[in-house]
Structure formats: structure tokens, C-alpha cells
Amino acid sequence: MTAASATEDSQAEVRPIPQEAQTALPSFRSVYDGYFDFVWTSTRRMGVPVDAVDDVVQEVFVVVHGRLKTLERPASLRSWLYGVVRRTVSTYHRSRHVRGAHESPEPFDDGASPMQPSPLDLAVLSDEVRLLWRLLGELDAVKREVFVLAELEEMTAPEIAEACGIPLNTAYSRLRAARLEFDAAFARYSAHQKERK
């Protein structure tokens, strides 16, 4: 066997690794550590009362632990996690309704934090941030969801579509409508402020 034929044989045996196989599944611990705040905040923003958030988040991570090996595209982990959060929160709301707790989900608020704010944190909370939460509260839940994912969580439209289980064009359409409604709400607020002066 010559050096040239040996080189040709070794090159023939080397096959490119598919992109999907290059990205290994993360460990459950790394998912938990890296995405706990995201899961907690998303759960809270979906109207789960503060006293139930920890239980729902625990249920989310139980599901994640059991299904992490089924994740087909590790690069879309955040979208996949958000889908798990949506389904778990939906199940929570349905079971609450069946048990007779007919209260509606808590409104969108600025309390979406896994840690309770300190008095200093509350004092530092600026008027602009409170205004943001107020304007977000004016959006309907479907539009607010895609707006928050795009603007606050910095997800792309394809990630939002995957996370929400909607067609890509629907994600773009909802996001466009949400941005228009948000801008209109801000314009109304600004006009009202000018009238007060």
C-alpha cells in the first residue's frame, strides 16, 4: 500500500458529521441552571399566582427531565422549553378551573421575578419600567406573548413560532399587530401626558 492510497482511503472514510449531531444534548443540570429564571418568569407572566409559581416551575422541570432526550434540535432548546412551560401552565389553569377556582389568571404585572424585590429594588424601579408593564397590560394575551418573547426575551420569529406552536407567518403577523398596538398605546399615553401639562 502506497502513501497516496493510504491517504485516499482515510479521506474516503472521513464523512462530515451532520449539523444536528455536532450539537450534543445538554445535561439536565445545565438546562436547570441556565434556564431557571426564564422558566420562572415565563410561568409568572402567564398568570400563575405567586404562591403557585414554584410548584408549576417544578412540574415544568419534571417534564423537562423526562423528555430532554427527545429534543431533536438542541439549538432550539429555549423555544422547546417555552413550549413545555406553555403546556404545563395551560394544564395548571385547566385543573384549577375544574377544581372550582373560577378566578381568572392574574393580570400581567411587573412581579415576574424569581426573587422577591428588595425595598431598594422597588425604589429604583423607574417610571419608564412601570409604564412598560402598563402598556404591555393593554395588549391582549396572544399579542403580548409574542411581543414579550420578541422584545424582552429576544427570540426570533422562527423561535416564537416553534415555542408557541403556530405557523411562522402567524408569528410575524401577531408580532406586527402587537407592535402597532403597543405604539398606539404609547402614543395615547404621551398625548395624555401633554394634555396634563
Give the per-residue pLDDT at 101. 53
pLDDT of residue 22: 45
Confidence (pLDDT) at 4? 47
The CA radius of gyration of the chain, in Å to the nearest whole number, is: 22
Q: What pLDDT is stored for residue 68 in this prediction?
A: 92
Residues of the chain with pLDDT under 70: 1-23, 99-126
Residue 79 amino acid letter? S
Please report the pLDDT score of residue 183 as a whole number. 94
Q: What is the pLDDT of residue 13?
A: 46
pLDDT for the residue 103: 53
**Burial class (CB within 10 angstroms; exposed 0-12, middle 13-18, buried 19+) of 151:** middle
HSE on the CB side for 21, CA within 13 Å? Answer: 4
pLDDT at 110: 44
Kindly list the structural domains of the chain, giving each domain's residue range(s) and its CATH number in brackets, ordered by start.
25-106 (1.10.1740.10), 121-197 (1.10.10.10)
**Joined grid coordinates for residue 34:** 441556565
- The reported pLDDT for the residue numbered 48 is 87
C-alpha cell at 129: 419600567
Determine phi and psi for 122, rounding to 5 degrees.
-65, -35
